[in-house]
Amino acid sequence: MQSDMIIKLLNGNERHGILQQEFDPTSGHIDFFCKTEQRHGLIPLDDICFIKFLGTPNPPDPSLEESIVQNITTLTGDRFHVRLGKDCRDSSRGFFGQPAASDADFKSIYFTAKGCRNRSHDQPLGEILNKLGLVQEADVAEALQEQKHLRGRRVGEILADQAEIPQPYLEQAIDKITGKGHKKTQLRVGEILIEAGLVTRQQIDEALLKQSLGKRKQIGRILIERGLINENQLLVALAEKFRLDFVNLDEIAISQEALGKVPQSMIERMQILPIALHDTRLTVATATPTDHTISESLRFATNCQIELVCARSTQIGEKIAALFDRGEDTIKDLINELAEVVVEDGEVPELDTITESDSKVIKLVNKVLLDAHNKGVSDIHFEPGLGPQPLRIRYRKDGICYTVHQIAASYKKAVISRLKIVARLDIAERRRPQTGKIVLRKNDKRIEYRVEITPTIGGQEDAVLRVLSSVRGYSLDELGFSASNRQRFKKLLRKPYGIILCVGPTGSGKTTTLHSALAEINTPDTKIWTAEDPVEITQNGLRQVQVNAKIGFTFEEALRSFLRADPDVIMIGEMRDSSTAKTAIGASLTGHLVFSTLHTNNAPETVVRLIEMGIDPFNCSDALLCILAQRLARRLCKQCKEPYHPSREEYATYVEVYGAREFQEDDMPEFSEDLTLMRKVGCEACEGQGYSGRIAIQELLVNSPEIKRAIKYNSKVEEISEIAISQGMRNLRMDGIQKIFQGLTDLHQVNQVYI
């Protein structure tokens, strides 16, 4: 039976003609007479995008009452609104559809599998989620309203919120600038706010990014952020909408042939996973089926027909890591390869003949740096042994150093030289210490390492890398303050002037605590300057300076500059000498709030140390607001710690150390059969250590008339400590015992950091 039709080819050309024989997709071709060319021929389905059978659309078929309406986009860019039967099953070659609109110019259409770029239900995602019983209609309506708000939000509004600029200030700034002769159309709001000095260029860039992300935010992501659905439920709904299968990657054997079709860089960048290959049909798992560029990019890269399936993003990420970045296994493999260097005929090996350009050395160094970052390590130690002894690599995590790798001696200098090259240091200089920085990027994430090279005996060099990306800011509520300490410390942060000191040994979290304090008072109406060596934590709104002793730019020089730069608050990374201390005390007495650190054992001792540094006792007593002494103890692993009932002897020890009177005053738990403490066990999550993370143990000495008097009269440490404890200070050991009774740590860890 003859039928008029239009055939659209994959190359974009059209053929208008008549069907010569009944169309059977399983034949792989169509028997067609082309009217324009007046010739007959067979056209392979592999060359066709779609076939439109012309004519008046038929009335809705009763069998299609529960039909599925879909939006189809073809590779040629054509879009169709078609109806499919509910029991419609697609063949591997394509599928039929009928027009959803009664005024269409065709009665039916056939889409080839190759020619279909994207298919989705006409039904909105919110309705599908509601139909599946995952959300209520009211929740969908609220999410849609939020989406509408985000898409219509202006950069000026985002800047006003981000910089906490009140709306009247914003309007005044705009009026002030536009009143200078500018037309309002000539300047954008961001430029106006820059000219008014209310925001920076960086804040504008951040606001533009936030606006762009808001405009692209989809309703599914909004519902997840509201806690109404999870990723699995969203993917189930998306699979329903786009007619895709939802798969569990843990139950699927991944084809190596399929993996080989897509470059590793493309898999990691797009976060997709090829799982099967049948002839030229490549099945690929994705967690973002709404991204229509995935199929097109993969089709172009592989020359295969792409079939997408849905899978959880965490599963895809884990599989990619297991297949391409095996972490420590890869490092061990590389080390084993390096260890294969042997010396024949019993000759003495000539060490360090391997160069830093060796590909295995480069891979090993990169793997170690990324492995340390992924494990949350704070420092990496490269320690070459003497003579034929190997190079030892140690990690420091939660304050504890442990050996992770040992590398053959012949590669010692090559590894250190490689580190010096990427840190842009002088590889020929082996007699003096050098300091540098390494910056890596992985998956658009910036990872920084501070490098310190130190010459050691035997002509060797040690390298210690601080993983700066592992340092982040915390709120004061996250630092483990006791309730009374937190309340008193926050109150002191609101003082207009004075000095606040955070003291303790290196690595006790002093800088982190001070940055948390600054974050508490970091507002648009407060000018805050910081001088640090190095700058490890950055905050928007702070003016941060890196001191450089090599050019004479010291803490004292930075502090003097700050005092001429209209500060409200100043932070000095460390008071290393008497001149810096005197300048800081002077600044606090002239109307500035000053923060700094000092290396002392406890808070009362700090007072005596300041006076020994040459600070006038009267100035010190007037300027001081408080001294916070701090240590970091290892926290019991939340996953495996277990409760136990302490013995009466153990309980008595706690009471004796704490002080019987203070123990009773602070309402500490009484001994009973129900009293339980926590102890370590060890599990996979904490690598069998029993500890995971750290918690601050603190003592807060707050200045008072009695303490001022003691400072002026040069009282001893014991006298100042006694006064402070009587006024509510709890020393480091006492604060540690409080945290033992809270189940956060144990006595061994408290004794480790403060004996």
Predicted local distance difference test score (pLDDT) of residue 177: 54
Amino acid letter, 171:
E
CA dist 511 and 599 (Å) reads 12
**Across the chain, how many H-helices and E-strands are there?**
27, 28
Q: Cα 695 to chain center, whole Å?
A: 21
H/E element, 651: helix 648-658
Is pTM beyond 0.85? Reply is: no
Please give the angle made by the CA atoms of 97, 101 and 103, to the nearest 5 degrees: 115
Q: Among 173-187, 435-449, 486-500, 571-585, whose mean pLDDT is lowest?
A: 173-187
With 70 as the cut, is the pLDDT of residue 199 above it?
no
- The Cα–Cα gap between 439 and 132 comes to 47
Are the C-beta atoms of 90 and 113 separated by less than 8 Å? yes
Mean pLDDT of 726-733: 88
pLDDT at residue number 382: 94
Identify which has the larger pLDDT, 343 or 689. 689
Looking at residue 87, its pLDDT comes to 45
Torsion of CA 558, 559, 560, 563, to 10 degrees: 120
What's the pLDDT tens digit per position in 222-280?
766 666 677 667 777 776 666 777 888 888 888 888 888 888 878 888 888 998 888 87
DSSP notation for 18-56:
EE-S---GGGSEEEEEETTTTEEEEEEGGGEEEEEEESP
Bond before 534 cis per omega within 30 degrees: yes
Whether residue 92 has pLDDT greater than 70: no
Least confident among 232-246, 311-325, 328-342, 480-494: 328-342
pLDDT value, residue 123: 66
Query: Over the stretch 385-419, which tens digit does the pLDDT of each residue have?
Result: 888 888 899 998 877 888 888 888 888 888 898 89
Please write the tens of the pLDDT for every residue from 580-620: 888 888 888 888 899 999 988 889 999 888 888 888 888 88
What mean pLDDT is reported for the chain?
79
pLDDT at residue number 702: 92
Tens digit of pLDDT for each residue in 110-126?
A: 888 778 777 766 667 66
- Residue 369 or 69, more confident: 369
H or E, element range at 330? helix 328-338
Scored b (16 or more CB within 10 A) or e, 224-246 reads beeebbeeebbbbbbbbbbbbeb
DSSP three-state, residue 673: coil
- The C-alpha atoms of residue 712 and residue 692 are separated, in whole angstroms, by 44
Percentage of the chain modeled with pLDDT above 90: 7
Q: pLDDT tier at 84 (50, 70, 90 boundaries)? A: confident
Per-residue confidence (pLDDT) for residue 341, from 0 to 100? 41
Q: Report CA-CA distances (Å) from 364 to 56, 260, 380, 425.
A: 68, 24, 14, 19
Mean pLDDT across 645-671: 88
Q: What pLDDT is stored for residue 461 in this prediction?
A: 92
Asked if pLDDT for residue 151 goes beyond 60, the answer is yes
Give the residue from 308, 307, 305, 309 showing the smallest Cα distance to 10. Answer: 305
pLDDT score, position 198:
59
User: Which residue(s) pair with 3 in the sheet?
Assistant: none
In the 3-class helix/strand/coil scheme, how is 273-294 assigned residue by residue? EEEEEECCEEEEEECCCCCCHH
Residues 199 and 495: their CA atoms lie apart, in Å, by 26
Q: Which one is predicted more confidently, 741 or 148?
A: 741
Question: Average of pLDDT values for 280-286?
Answer: 86
Strand, coil or helix: 395: strand
How many Å separate Cα 96 from the centre of its chain?
A: 46
Compute the average pLDDT of residues 166-173: 58
pLDDT at 349 over 90: no
Beta-carbon count within 10 A of 381 CB: 16
Q: Where are the alpha helices (DSSP H) in 445-597?
A: 483-493, 510-521, 555-563, 578-589
Structural domains present in the chain: 4-121 (no CATH), 126-225 (no CATH), 242-324 (3.30.300.160), 328-470 (3.30.450.90), 476-753 (3.40.50.300)
pLDDT for 699-719, tens place per residue?
999 999 999 999 988 888 889
**Coil vs helix vs strand at 121:** strand
- Which one has a higher pLDDT value, 190 or 627? 627
Q: Which helix (H) or strand (E) is 5 found in, with range?
A: strand 4-9
pLDDT at site 327: 45
Residues, the chain, total?
A: 755
